[in-house]
Amino acid sequence: MNFELLETPNLILRKITPETYEFVFHHYNDNDLKTFFGFSKNEELDKEKEKLKKGLTTYNRSFVNFQILDKETGDIIGACGFHTWSFEHHRAEIGYALNSDEHMGKGIMTETLKAVIDYGFKTMNLNRIEALIGPKNEASLRLVEKFNFTREGLLRQHYFKNNVMEDSVIYSLLRVEYNQ
């Protein structure tokens, strides 16, 4: 399978879609899957298998994700992409994470987000990109504000995480704002 790649000065972004999941899970063994996804634990792979089993898309929603690979080493250092992609309404929620703290504070996510947001507006024909962020996640709040996302409000008790209901701050970026 050939993978679509985006390239930034320091990173390679490898596109992952529902079709990618179908292909790799039907053609790779567990060790190859762990390498492909950058997992070190069987539990991480089991979680991905469960996602595939439950269904990755619906008739009107899908995702496009990018693995973040260090250009020098080829190591998978994180992921960034769009989930809850609503084709009909030209919007998607962006999400991102680095695999370890050692990669934080180095501008990796800023470099990644620029490329992924461009892809969303230009290739996926999005009109709106949403970000839902925990109110205490200051680094993530600063990151979206750097890209001129607009804070729209607070979604109360929006996520159930670690046996606690947590709020989310909702941000958005419209195509017209990004093009300015």
Is 90 exceeded by the pLDDT of residue 50?
no
For residues 28 and 171, give the distance between their C-alpha atoms in angstroms, rounded to a whole number. 38
Residue 59, both tokens: 């008739």
C-alpha separations of 40 from 31, 36, 94, 130, 176 in Å? 10, 11, 25, 30, 41
The residues, any chain, with a CB within 8 Å of residue 17's CB and separated by 6 or more, are 62, 63, 64, 65
Residue type, 138: E
pLDDT at 89: 96
Look over the chain and give the mean of its residue pLDDT values, rounded to a whole number: 93
What CATH code would you report for 5-126?
3.40.630.30
The residues, any chain, with a CB within 8 Å of residue 56's CB and separated by 6 or more, are 18, 21, 62, 63
pTM of the shown model: 0.89
pLDDT tens track for 65-107:
999 999 999 999 999 999 999 999 999 999 999 998 899 999 9
Radius of gyration of the chain (CA): 16
Query: Domain extents for the chain?
Result: 5-126, 131-180
pLDDT at 58: 79
Residues 135, 139, 145, 149, Cα dihedral to 10°: -60
